[in-house]
Amino acid sequence: MTLAREVSFPEDTRIFEAGGTADRFWVIRSGAVSLDQRVNDLHRVTVAGLGAGDLLGWSWLFPPHEWDFGAVAFSPVRAYEFEAAAVLHLCEEEPPLGLLLVRNVAEVLAHRLETTRGKLLEQYAMHRRSGAL
């Protein structure tokens, strides 16, 4: 059974939108992807950047299976795309594989959380020095 298919996204292509159904994920082969969050009807803020070898999308693994952020191709992107249902089915048939997958996704999440924490602390320090807080 082949789980992955090769896909490509031209620069500036919106790959998914926050709140959309998370039914797949990607492993980036080349290019860059920006994860963003809508601030209001006109503005988005970039919350992270991903590149070659990175996992794009983890919301498929956890209910309610909706994207937490949006994603856009910052440059032309080539990736392996996986359908969540097929991967979850394989994980149920092969529990050791499922455990390995969950551990790897948890590691990605922990790293991204630590990166976000660092950015928040930098912002706090910057605002504190400027007297804004």
For 83-130, write each residue's pLDDT tens digit. Answer: 999 999 999 999 999 999 999 999 999 998 898 888 888 888 887 887
Q: Judging by DSSP bridges, how do beta strands 33-38 and 4-9 pair with one another?
A: unpaired
How far is CA 130 from each of CA 55, 64, 126, 127, 133, rounded to the nearest angstrom? 36, 40, 6, 5, 8
Which pLDDT tens digit goes with each residue over 32-54? 999 999 988 888 989 899 999 99
Q: Is pLDDT at 1 greater than 90 in this prediction?
A: no
Q: Are 70 and 18 in contact (CB under 8 A)?
A: yes
CB-based contact 29:75 (threshold 8 Å): no
Q: How many domains does the chain have?
A: 1
Per-residue pLDDT, 123: 80
- Domain containing 37 — which CATH number? 2.60.120.10
What pLDDT score was predicted for residue 14?
A: 98
| Helix, strand, coil tally for the chain in percent (to 5) | 35, 35, 30
Distance between first and last Cα of the chain: 56
Q: Between the CA of residue 21 and those of 8, 63, 85, 95, what are the distances in Å?
A: 20, 11, 12, 25
Give the structural domain span for 41: 4-130
What mean pLDDT is predicted for residues 59-84?
97
Query: What three-state secondary structure class fits 73?
Result: strand
Task: Measure the CA–CA gap between 84 and 61, rounded to whole angstroms.
Answer: 8
Per-residue pLDDT at 132 exceeds 80: no
